[in-house]
Amino acid sequence: MVRNVRPLGGPKLSELEWEIMKPFWESGAMAARDLYARVGEQRQWSYKTVKTMLARLVQKGALKYEQIGNSYLYEAAYDRDVMTRAAASSFVERVFDGALTPFLAFFAERATPEELAVIRQEFKRIESKQGRKRGKRNAQSD
């Protein structure tokens, strides 16, 4: 069954932009020099490249900033969960035409038995939660 997956919040990010965002989600707000120390040097980026990436992420709305004297303190505008959900939703739409069954089957085929057990538990938790919601709706319509 093909279904429309609702688009979720947050801008679309490139692979490199995801790498820039991770330290903000892990550590919170930081200055460009702090990000450069964490990401720029290991990727062999110049400080100017890091600043360009920050400006791009601010323009996209993924980062926000506060000016403190002559410095800027950057922080994520969206939490990681929101961005991950938006990216996953976009991926399912583009690659699987919004169909969740082939998407899930694709990944389940590659999962270890331990991962499958965790996935089963997560599905049970979701089904239980959905059942409680349906029960509330049915009780309200009676």
87 domain-assigned: no
Q: Can you tell me the mean pLDDT for 46-70?
A: 95
Residues 21 and 67 in one domain: yes
Domain count along the chain: 2
67 domain-assigned: yes
pLDDT at 74 over 80: yes
Bigger pLDDT: 67 or 3? 67
**Residue 137 — very low, low, confident or very high, per pLDDT cuts 50/70/90?**
low
Residue 114 to residues 96, 102, 104, Cα–Cα distance (Å): 26, 21, 16
Residues 32 and 64 in one domain: yes
Output b/e per residue, 33-71; b: 16+ Cβ within 10 A.
Answer: eebbebbbeeeebeeeebbebbebbeeeebbebeeeeee
Length of the chain: 142
Domain of residue 45: give its range: 15-76
**Residue 2 — very low, low, confident or very high, per pLDDT cuts 50/70/90?**
very low
pLDDT the model gives residue 61: 94
Residues 21 and 70 in one domain: yes
Tens digit of each residue's pLDDT (9 = 90 or more) over 114-134: 999 999 999 999 999 888 776
**Residue 6 — very low, low, confident or very high, per pLDDT cuts 50/70/90?**
very low
109 domain-assigned: yes
Tens digit of each residue's pLDDT (9 = 90 or more) over 15-51: 999 999 999 999 999 999 999 999 988 899 999 999 9
Q: Residue 86: in which H helix or E strand, if any?
A: helix 80-96
Residue 12: half-sphere exposure toward Cβ, Cα within 13 Å: 6
Q: Cβ(92)–Cβ(100) under 8 Å? A: yes
